[in-house]
Amino acid sequence: MKNEKLKQQIVSYLLLVLGSALFAVGDVMFVNPYHLAPGGVYGLANVFNAMWGWKISLAGICMDIPLLIIGTIILGPKFGVKTVISVILIPVFTFLMETTWGYQPLIHDGLFTSSEGLTSYLTYMVGDVEYYFQPDMFLNTVVAGLIYGVAIGVIFRSGATSGGSDIIAMIAHKYTKISLGTLVLIVDSIISLTTLLAFKDIRFPIYSIVLIFIESKIIDLVVEGVKSYKTAFIVTDKIDEVRDFIIKDLDRSGTVFAGSGLYQGAERKMIYVTLNRSDLVKLKANLRFLDPNAFVNVIESSEIMGNGFKALPTE
């Protein structure tokens, strides 16, 4: 048991390092050159970098550490060691990327030393020299969203958070009745809108919000996995036939509830069962033969833990 726990801890810290490195790659190579700000402290750091030349890593850690201290004072010791390590690792990797790669875009339709003949262009500096490039906004946004999503998803899988604007949302949640999810969306949207004030171009906040949407879907995919489960509630008079099919043909178990009909008060039985997508298709296809009068309610199950599914957390 001790060896297994040690192995899990090692894997979680490796994931934390990997996620932090990926975040830096996504930010420096894809987000910053396109003047995007997909929420968070580093979204704001990108705006500061474009406007005043501040290093992203320095601006990020100068905002993250005070937020972490303030959050700990107001909310208590909610932030574990891994979150503190994440707050340190991300600016370290970002600084390395800034130093070795600079702010050159990876996706573009050409790099030039002059804007002559270009109908659409963005710029970046290398020392005192200004370079111009033709942006591919959509492709860059998609790739940035994928990298950001994988990075933050891996950090979440390690048991840490990236801190930043989430702390602001948590503090606001303590003193308001607004849900945490709504507050996170509000904070990130406000940060995305700073690109409109800074660059006077509506494309940047729009693409930033698209990036946030892609990122959120990838985070869910990384954290929850690709498996999709459905939960079915089946009210049937042929309880034995349906039960035997679920147990023998689908190799699944479930729970039987006893109840009574609302209209006539007749005693009815209901089966509660959770299935993957393919098993649900088989169940629906066979229910019309087992009991054509069955009543079925199918709902989406975002996470299933326990015997036969994902293991319960050990911590």
Output the pLDDT for position 1.
60
Q: Among the listed ranges 184-198, 215-229, 236-250, which one has the minimum average pLDDT value?
A: 215-229
Q: Indicate whether 312 pLDDT > 70.
A: no
Confidence grade of residue 305 (pLDDT, cut at 50, 70, 90): confident
Contact 45, 60 (CB under 8 A): yes
Answer with the residue of higher pLDDT: 220 or 37: 37
Tokens of 253: 């178990």
Per-residue model confidence (pLDDT) at position 184:
79
How buried is 19 (Cβ within 10 angstroms: 0-12 exposed, 13-18 middle, 19+ buried)? buried
Mean pLDDT, the chain, integer: 88
Give the residue with greater pLDDT, 231 vs 313.
231
Residue 178 has pLDDT above 90, yes or no: no
> Taking 90 as the threshold, does the pLDDT of residue 29 lie above it?
yes
CA distance 84 to 225: 26
Q: Which backbone phi and psi does 106 adopt, to 5 degrees?
A: -90, -35
Give the percent of the chain with pLDDT over 90: 48
Q: Which letter does DSSP use for residue 265 in this model? A: -
Residue-wise pLDDT for 135-152, tens only, equals: 999 999 999 999 999 999
pLDDT tens digit string along 269-281? Answer: 899 999 888 888 8
Confidence of residue 160 (pLDDT cuts 50, 70, 90): confident
Instruction: Name the residue with tokens 């109840």.
Output: 259
- pLDDT of 308 reads 66
In the predicted model, what is the mean pLDDT of residues 234-262?
A: 88
Between 24 and 266, the higher pLDDT residue: 24
Segments making up each domain of the chain, as ranges:
2-224, 229-301
At residue 175, the pLDDT reads: 87
Least confident of 23-32, 154-163, 278-287: 154-163
Q: Which pLDDT value is given to residue 313?
A: 63
Query: How many percent of the chain have pLDDT more than 70?
Result: 95
Query: CA-CA distance, 11 to 154, in Å (whole number)?
Result: 11
pLDDT band at 177 (very low <50, low <70, confident <90, very high): confident
What per-residue confidence (pLDDT) applies to 125?
87
Are 44 and 32 in contact by the 8 Å Cβ rule? The answer is no
pLDDT given at position 146? 97
Q: Which residue has the tokens 């489960």?
A: 229
CATH topology of domain 229-301: Alpha-Beta Plaits (3.30.70)
Q: What is the distance of C-alpha 35 from the center of its chain?
A: 21
Question: Which of these ranges, 94-108, 150-164, 171-185, 209-223, has the smallest mean pLDDT?
Answer: 171-185
Evaluate if residue 183 carries a pLDDT over 80: yes
* pLDDT the model gives residue 315: 54
Q: Residue 11 pLDDT > 60, yes or no?
A: yes
pLDDT at residue 260, as a whole number: 80
pLDDT of residue 165: 79
